[in-house]
Every structure is written in C-alpha cells, then in structure tokens.
Amino acid sequence: AAMREERIKKTKTVCTYCGVGCSFDVWTKDRKILKVEPNAESPANGISTCIKGKFGWDYVNSDERLTKPLIREGDSFKEVEWEEAIAYVAKRFKEIKEEKGADHLGFIASSKATNEESYLMQKLSRQVIGTNNVDNCSRYCQAPATKGLFRTVGYGGDSGSISDIAKAELVITIGSNTAESHPVLASRIKRAHKLFGQKLFVFDLRKHEMAGRADRFYQPESGTDLVWLSAVTKYILDQGWEDQAFLDEWVNQLDEYKESLKGFTMDYAEKMTGIPQQDLKEVAEEIANSGKVAICWAMGVTQHMRGSDTSTAISNLLLVTGNYGKPGVGAYPLRGHNNVQGCSDFGSMPNFFPGYENTTDDEVRERYEQAWGVDLPAEPGMDNHEMIEAVHSGDLSCIYVYGEDTGVVDSNVNYVRDAFEKLDFFVVQDLFLTKTTEYADVVLPAVPSLEKEGTFTNTERRIQRLYKVMDPLPGPKADWEIMTLLAKELGFDWGYSHPSEIMEEAAKLAPLFAGVTYERLEGYKSLQWPVEEDGTDTPLLFLDGFPFEDKKARLYPLEFELEYRTTEKYDLHVNNGRLLEHFHEGNMTYKSEGISRKTPDSFVEISPELAKERGIKEGGEVRLISDAGEAVGTVTVTDRVRGKELYLPLNGRGKSAVNLLTDNRVDKDSNTPAYKEIAVKMEIVKKE
C-alpha cells in the first residue's frame, strides 16, 4: 500500500487554456490524471475552475502524440533521431541565411508556450539568425488592445487585477462572450452583480449568457463600437461631467482630443450603431455618475479593421471619466490563450525586446548586444501577417513556428496554405500532426505544459510557475530545450539546464521584470509586472502616474470611417467566437473525450427572422460563400442572433472552418486579421 501511495503525487500547475490563469493541483498516478483540485491559495481563481481546466487534459495521453522528429520524404514523413533533425534544421537555416539573408527567415511563437520559451524564440531569431522577423499568435487576437493602451496609458495590460473588476460599481463588457471565453472571471462578475449590486452593461452582436444577465444590453451594428464610445465620451464632456481634477493632474492632449470628437454627435452615433440616442445618453450619465467603472473587452472589439482605434476609444473614455489608478476601475482586455500576455511581454514581437523596449532604441539594443555578444538589427521585422504576404512576394523563404496551427487559425487559410507551399523550408513544432504540419518539411515533437516547467502570465499581468506534473513521454522535448539544441548547433551555446536560468537572464535585461525570480514564484506565489528589483510587484497600475516621462496619459484623437458593410451580393454578416467547452481551434479539447461527447462539432446560428425568410429549419444545412472561400454548416435557429447576423463557433473543422471565409483585411494599426468582418451569401444545401 505504501508503494502505491508513493506513486500518487500532487503537483501545482497553471491552466493551459484561457487567460484567466487558474492554478490548481493535479493529482496523478504515473501518467494517469486522477483529479484536478483547485487550491484556496490560487491567486486568480481560488477554489473555482471551469470544465476545460477540470477535464480538458486527455490530450496529454492521446495516442496521437508525436514522439519522434519527422523529416519530409516526398508526400510523407520519415521518423528520425533528434541529432539528425536538429542538424538538418540548422543546416537549412544557415543555407537560407547565407543565400538570401537573415531576413528571409521568420519565427512565430505560441501563446500556449511559456514566457521562457517566448524569450528564447526572440533570442534565436535576433541573436542566432540576426533578424527581427519574430512574432507570436497574439497578432491574431489581442495586439490591437495592446496598441490602444500603449498609445494612451503606456502599458499594454489589464489596469488592475481580476479582483478589481469585482470591486467596480459598473462593469461594461464589449465584444466579449465572457461566460464562455473566460468562465471563472465571468463568475466573479456574476457574483458581484447578484450579491453586491454591481451594474453590468453588455455591448455585443450576440445575445449570450452575460447579455441575458445585464442591466443594459445593446447590439450595435458590427464594427461601430468606436462610434458609440466616442459619442458617449463627447456627451460627457459636453455636459461637463468629466473628471476635471483627474484630467488636470494626469492627462495630456485634451484640446486636440476634444477637437477630434466634433463629428461624434449622438445623431451620428444613432445612425451608425443603431442604438437609440436616448439610450446612449443614459449610458453616458450612468458612467459619469458611477464612481468606479471597469471596461472589459475581447475579440469582438479587436478583430476588426478598427480594432486598435476602438481599444483606444475605450481608454479615452476611461481617462475622461478618471477611471484609472484606483481600485475597482480601468481597462481590462481579456486575453484569450493562457499566455497571450506573457508571449508578447517576453519579446516575441517584431518591434520589441522583452518588456516592450523598442528595437530601434540604441541604449536598449546595446544592452542586449553586450549580453549576447553580437550586433543586433534595429529596424522592426515582419509580423505574422507581413510574413505570409512576404512569402507570396518572394521576400521570405523560411518559417519556424511552434505551438500554433497557423494553417487553421490565421484568416483566409487558403491564402495562408498557398504561402506554406511556396516556402523553401518550413519547420513546425507541436504535440500532434495538424493541418499546418501537412505543409512542413520538418516536424519537431514538443511536450505539453504538464510535462515541463516554466511560467505563464495571465490576463492580469500575473506571472505564475508551473511544475512538471509528469515526466515527458520518451521522445518529445520542451520547446525551450529544442531551441537550446538548435542554437547550439548554430554556434551559440546558451547552456541552459532549467527554465529558471532563462528567467534570470530575462529579468537582468528587461527592467519590467527586474525582480522576477523563481524563488519569489515558489508554489502558489505570483508576481504582477512591473516587478522592481526588490520584488515589489504591481497588482494595480498607474497609482502614481503613467509610464511616460511627464507621468501623464495621452488622450488620443480618432476618426471613423465605415470600411465594412454587407453588399447586395454578400448580404449577411458572419460573426464568430468561442464555445465554453472547446478551446480555440480545438486541437486540444477535441482530444478530451468528456468534452467532445458533450458538444457538437460546429453549427451556424441563424435568426428566426432569417430562417423564416429563407424557408430553412433547425438541422438544415447551408453553404456560406464569401469573397475568399466557402464553408458549410448545420443550422441552429436561435434568437441569440438577430436579423442578418450569422454566428459560427471558432472550433469548426474541415469544411465548416470559419477561416475558409475570412479574407486578408486587417486592423490598420496592428495587422490583426479582421476576423469579425465577413460578408457572405448563403445557399441552402438542405432545408431541414
């Protein structure tokens, strides 16, 4: 009996799914997961988890896990040993660099991997290869939020902690299906709403669970959030309801900003958004009268052609009403993946070193040049979107990507897959064969979070450690180990034997993480950046000003032009998003039997009005056609959507994948695909 007990072990880890960053103990016997047990000490979630954190782990023991490196041989792959794979990849990288130049290589990091791994990806790209062509998959979701906050308040992260959202008097969610995408965070809002009289306003195209609970729920026309946000801000200023003391002390550019608001009248807002102006005036009054306002937003805001500007408009509104720099207020972009925040924080971005220091800043670059012993490129590199374009134009020949099924999650996947076919050399590192590996020259088998150590940073800038719950399967390696091997083969012996050494280096180089150490993150301890050298962290930002030289935030003038509309030919708008049970494209959650059984593969939500008009019933099948491609799906008739709005879950596979429909349009300031701006026509395949 003693022997048996010894094999049962309890290990702390951090959830690998959404950005709430729940941490918990995982009970295992060898590789078998006995249970997931939340711990009252968990800083983000206490004793709560959702279905994904609790049951979403079967993929770790899936038979489909890759165990050996694969090298392409004609239409198939041959299994090889690590030495051969690493030598081959290094040789091809070197050849391409010598023949075409370092900027013909591009690197894409994953926000499912650890902070240390993001750090190494940009080190590999910058130090070893000599290019700033490094980015991560937050380009597909949250880059516009980061941009909007940078411009106004100087830090691209949540203003406070999740507990601050619960302390707000008024919470506004915009373009966020919070209950399904960030379940544990949503439960905090639900509780505050129910028990403590917190007000909840929801702006969304779709009537989801939070909309049902909200005190006010509005469905603005797609892509027009910037207009109502700016009109509400203008109205507050016109009425003299702004927080003048806050503006005087902490904010620049008020006059230019006011000037830019001229066109955002209530008439215009009503016309563009479809929300009656009386309602918007009441919203303005409620915001002005409320002492503490927190605004949460997600991809319904960011994945538009004006995603960065709309995020900026949110921040402008918060500044005008003094809702920064105290408990219970602020901006909360709700990060999607577990480590969307950290992956950008640790430097896998074409223009930033770790901690958001510009590659063009000589002082910063010299610091890294000294530490790494090479000259580094100053000019920003290509982001993910530019990399795909550059492959098509012959300016990029090689991509190395880990932890990302780019051929499914990027927009306009037909175009992306064509680019993959044109690459001279394509390396994909993942747990499984995916759609993307079909195009790879080399596939390197990686390990999931349960089989490695490292840190993740959740949506509230909280850095947390994960411990090895089980030994890796024989064969695959952690992303950080694979990159360390590659660097060595390419002549740079980094010599890391544990992720803590990588964090130590990052903390030394990036002031934002100066005091981050593994000791300070022991067990359930965590740190919210910025972290000072003595270990003081920052649960709440902007307590004494904003990170600009004069400590003042900036109101950022905006314009609006409606760039997207349905047309006579493509007369319906397709919205898309997550389901509670599945995560993103579903590469992990589909492998969890409990989850797969509970949810249908995919569906198209159609409003009762539209179903009636087109003579189609529940269970029918439709073909959706956009100017980029076509997809098919089974019909669900529901009043969650209205009029000519359709809704597709993100996890659709094969012929129902939503990215068969999305095109090449992007947010103008961040190049994030405008996933939410798809116009389609609908053909009926089967009526019922």
- The footprint of ligand SF4 (CB under 6 A) covers 15, 17-18, 20-22, 45, 49-50, 52-53, 183-184
Angle (nearest 5°) at CA 251 between 247 and 257: 90
Q: Are 38 and 16 in contact (CB under 8 A)?
A: no
Position with the least CB separation from ligand SF4:
53
Question: How many C-beta neighbours within 10 Å does residue 325 have?
Answer: 21
Q: Tell me how far, at minimum, the Cβ of 265 lies from ligand SF4, in Å.
A: 40
Nearer to ligand SF4, 450 or 674 (CB): 450
Angle (nearest 5°) at CA 457 between 335 and 144: 35
**3-class DSSP assignment, residue 182:** coil
Q: Tell me how far, at minimum, the Cβ of 43 lies from ligand SF4, in Å.
A: 12
Question: How many C-beta neighbours within 10 Å does residue 281 have?
Answer: 17
Q: Tell me how far, at minimum, the Cβ of 454 lies from ligand SF4, in Å.
A: 16
Q: Tell me how far, at minimum, the Cβ of 26 lies from ligand SF4, in Å.
A: 12
CA dihedral of residues 70, 72, 75, 76 (deg, nearest 10): -20
Nearer to ligand SF4, 20 or 272 (CB): 20
Residue 439 and residue 442: Cα distance in Å, rounded?
9
Nearer to ligand SF4, 206 or 462 (CB): 462
The amino acid that residue 589 corresponds to is T
Q: Tell me how far, at minimum, the Cβ of 477 lies from ligand SF4, in Å.
A: 25
Question: How many C-beta neighbours within 10 Å does residue 655 have?
Answer: 12
Nearer to ligand SF4, 22 or 442 (CB): 22
Q: How far is CA 358 from CA 307, 352, 362, 672, in A?
A: 22, 5, 9, 20
Q: The tokens of 322 are what?
A: 């003094």
What's phi and psi for 528, nearest 5 deg? -105, 125
Q: Tell me how far, at minimum, the Cβ of 39 lies from ligand SF4, in Å.
A: 13
Kindly give the pairing relationship between strand 170-174 and strand 199-203.
parallel
Nearer to ligand SF4, 141 or 305 (CB): 141
Nearer to ligand SF4, 21 or 445 (CB): 21
Angle (nearest 5°) at CA 550 between 548 and 554: 60
Q: Tell me how far, at minimum, the Cβ of 436 lies from ligand SF4, in Å.
A: 23
Nearer to ligand SF4, 148 or 183 (CB): 183
Residue 216 and residue 233: Cα distance in Å, rounded?
18
What's phi and psi for 397, nearest 5 deg? -120, -10
Q: Tell me how far, at minimum, the Cβ of 638 lies from ligand SF4, in Å.
A: 24
Residue 461 and residue 342: Cα distance in Å, rounded?
8
Q: How far is CA 582 from CA 52, 205, 649, in A?
A: 8, 21, 9
**3-class DSSP assignment, residue 678:** strand
Q: Tell me how far, at minimum, the Cβ of 480 lies from ligand SF4, in Å.
A: 22
Q: Tell me how far, at minimum, the Cβ of 349 lies from ligand SF4, in Å.
A: 23
Q: Are 624 and 630 in contact (CB under 8 A)?
A: yes
Nearer to ligand SF4, 21 or 403 (CB): 21
Residue 420 and residue 45: Cα distance in Å, rounded?
40
Nearer to ligand SF4, 298 or 553 (CB): 298
Nearer to ligand SF4, 184 or 637 (CB): 184
- Altogether, the residues listed in the chain come to a count of 688
Nearer to ligand SF4, 336 or 673 (CB): 336
Nearer to ligand SF4, 125 or 177 (CB): 177
Q: Tell me how far, at minimum, the Cβ of 337 lies from ligand SF4, in Å.
A: 10
Integer-rounded Cα Rg, in Å, for the chain is 24
Q: Tell me how far, at minimum, the Cβ of 528 lies from ligand SF4, in Å.
A: 16
CA atoms within 13 A on the CB side of 671: 16
